[in-house]
Amino acid sequence: MKAKFSPSLMCMDLLNIREQIEIINERADFYHVDIMDGHYVKNITLSPDFVKAVKPVCKLPIDCHLMVTNPEDFVEMLAEAGADYICPHAETINAQAFRIINKIKSLGVKVGVVLNPATPLSYIKHYIHLLDKITIMTVDPGFAGQSFIEEMLEKIEEARDIKEKNGYKYLIEVDGSCNEKTFKRLNDAGCEVFIVGSSGLFGLDSDLTVAWDKMIENFKRETE
């Protein structure tokens, strides 16, 4: 599978949202929208209102990563705002995982789950077959710019092996430190969707078009 890229919109130049989204429209595969409640993680970023505001100019699927304590409070709002994927943390839904997954699907939205570094894949084994995407965090959640956690490569390989063995359809995505230092190891382990933020994309150049070209050049150099 050809590698897919999902720019993290919280890392873009928020003073030039439309211009940046129009550049991303022609290059990326998804938009990654982090939604934090200040409780599950000690930060607050984007919101359902942000999704609603940018949806008219977005040409790609909007992927919403819920770093929130009560994801069920956000599901309907995000579906109405135009989310294409809703991805809560497994740690926040396991008491009612099947109900929340079914709710998301009933709204016509694809569903994923996100796994913190310390959470094993076995935690989601009873509903892994229902998922459209699994996001493996390679940093602890909540803040951009953290160091890559090497132990996550084994988890990515495990997700790939389970997918291949059972014929599952979920995408394997990685969130955290996707950049030229990690592209090769992540690609070799089985990552299919790379969430790119400060180090992987936006910090490469103030001109996002130039930054994107640099990112692709870095990826090709490291993986081909």
Q: Say what the pLDDT of residue 143 is.
A: 61
Annotated binding site for a divalent metal cation: 32, 34, 65, 175
CA distances in angstroms from 4 to 123, 141, 183, 217, 219, listed in the order given: 26, 21, 12, 14, 11
Nearest residue to 18 via CA among 8, 6, 9, 27: 9
User: What is the per-residue pLDDT across 26-61, written as a single tens digit (0 to 9) for each?
Assistant: 999 999 999 987 676 667 778 899 999 999 999 999
State yes or no: is 73 an active-site residue.
no
pTM of the predicted structure, to 2 decimals:
0.95
Quick one: fold of 4-223? TIM Barrel (3.20.20)
State yes or no: is 13 an active-site residue.
no
The residue extents of the domains of the chain are 4-223
Amino acid present at 9:
L
Catalytic residue among 29, 37, 84, 175: 175
User: What is the per-residue pLDDT across 143-182, written as a single tens digit (0 to 9) for each?
Assistant: 655 689 999 999 999 999 999 999 999 999 999 999 999 9
Annotated binding site for substrate: 65, 142-145, 175-177, 197-199
3 state SS of 26: coil
Alpha helix segments (H runs only) across the chain: 17-25, 48-54, 72-81, 90-93, 97-106, 152-166, 183-189, 208-223
Catalytic residue among 34, 37, 63, 84: 34
Annotated binding site: 32, 34, 65, 142-145, 175-177, 197-199
